[in-house]
A and B are shown apart, each in its own frame.
Chain A
C-alpha cells in the first residue's frame, strides 16, 4: 500500500530525539570545514566550484521551502542535455557540476 499522504510514523518530538545529536554534529563539521578553508593558504585565487555549490546548498536549507534534499541534488546536477562527445580519460565525478571549471 502506497502512503497517501506521505508520512513519517514517528511524531515530531521522537524525530528530534532520534536525530538531533547526529545532525548537530554534522552542522559543526560543516562549520569547521569552512573555518579550515579560511585558514588554509589560498592557492586557487577564486572560490572552488564545489565550495560555491556547498554555500548555495546551505542557502536552500534556510529558504523555508520543502523538498530540500531534492533541490540540493538538483543544484549539484549537470543541467545540460545531450550526451558528451567523449568520456576518454574520465572515470570519476566531482559531486558538484563544474560547468566550465576546473
Chain B
C-alpha cells in the first residue's frame, strides 16, 4: 500500500533509504528543517542547508519516483541565541517561493526557555504574515507536556492562526488529547526508544480516533527507522483494522493537511 511520510530528515539518510522507501510504497515525503546534531557556526550554514532542502534533495528523491517537499525555519535547539536566530530567519524569504516549500517548520521548543519561546513566536508571526502552513516540534521526554502547553498558548495568544493549518508533532498519550481538542492537527512520531512505537501509535488511534492525526518516522541521524510508517501499517493490519483506516492515517490524512498548500499536488 502507498503512503506519505510527512516528517523525515532525508539529508541524514542514504540514497538506498530512498530506494527502500519507494519499494515500500512511499509516494512523497516532507522534510522539516532541523538541528544537524551540532550548532552551525554561522547563518551561512543555513543558507547552504536551505539550498540542499530545496535543490538537491528533491532531485535525489525523484530518482525513485518520490516527491520531496520541505519546511524552513531555524530549529528550537539553535534558537537560544535570538540575534543569531533572527539572522537565519532573514534568509528564509528568498527560499519561500521555491516549488517544494510548504511552510514554516519544524519550529517549537526544546528546553522551554524564554529565548526559544521568543523565536517560536517570531516564526508564528512570520508564517501568519505570509499565509504559510506551520509544522511544530514539541520537546522531548519530560519537557514535552509543558512545552506543548506553552506552544498552544503562544499560538492562541497570537490570535490570527487557524489551528487547522498547524500540525503539532511528536504527540504521545499525555499530549494528544489537548492538541486535538484545541483543533490542531497532531503527528505521532514512530521512534524505537524515545517517542511512539508502531504499537502505541495504533493504540492511540484506537483511543483518540483517526481525525486530524498522522504518523511519521522523523528518520534522522539518530536511532530511527525510515520504514516506520509502513511498519505501523502492518501493525494496524495485524490487529484487524480495515484497509480503509490504514489508508486514512498513512495517506489521506497527510494529504488533506498538506493540500492546504497549493504546492502539494500529490494525487
Contacts and interface: CB of A to CB of B under 8 A. Distances in A.
Interface in B128-144: 139-144
B141 to A, nearest CB: 4
A77 B142 contact: yes
B203 A77 contact: no
A87 B85 CA distance: 14
A78 B145 contact: yes
B220 to A, nearest CB: 14
Interface in B108-142: 110-117, 139-142
A90 B168 CA distance: 23
A56 B241 CA distance: 34
Nearest to B117: A83
B146 to A, nearest CB: 5
Nearest to B113: A87
B207 A6 contact: yes
Chain A interface residue number, banded: 35 or more
A19 B209 CA distance: 22
B140 A93 contact: yes
A61 interface: no
A80 to B, nearest CB: 7
A74 B29 CA distance: 32
B200 A94 contact: no
Interface in B199-245: 199-200, 203, 205-211, 238-241
A98 B142 CA distance: 9
Interface centre among A86, A91, A95 (most CB of B within 10 A): A91
A83 B174 contact: no
Interface in A68-94: 69-70, 73-74, 76-81, 83-88, 90-94
Contact of A85 (B113, B144, B205): B113
A6 B240 CA distance: 14
B146 A78 contact: yes
B77 interface: yes
A70 B174 contact: yes
Nearest to A91: B77
Nearest to A93: B141
A8 interface: yes
B51 to A, nearest CB: 26
B150 interface: yes
Contacts of A1: 210
B145 A74 contact: yes
A6 B143 CA distance: 28
Interface in A1-32: 1-4, 6-10, 14-15, 18-19
B112 A84 contact: yes
Contacts of A7: 206
Closest 3 CB pairs of A and B: A2-B209, A87-B113, A87-B111
Interface of A: 1-4, 6-10, 14-15, 18-19, 67, 69-70, 73-74, 76-81, 83-88, 90-98
22 contacts: A3-B209, A3-B210, A6-B209, A7-B206, A14-B239, A15-B239, A69-B203, A73-B172, A73-B174, A76-B141, A78-B143, A78-B145, A78-B146, A83-B114, A83-B150, A86-B115, A87-B113, A91-B111, A93-B139, A93-B143, A96-B141, A96-B142
Interface of B: 77, 80, 110-117, 139-146, 149-150, 172-174, 199-200, 203, 205-211, 238-241
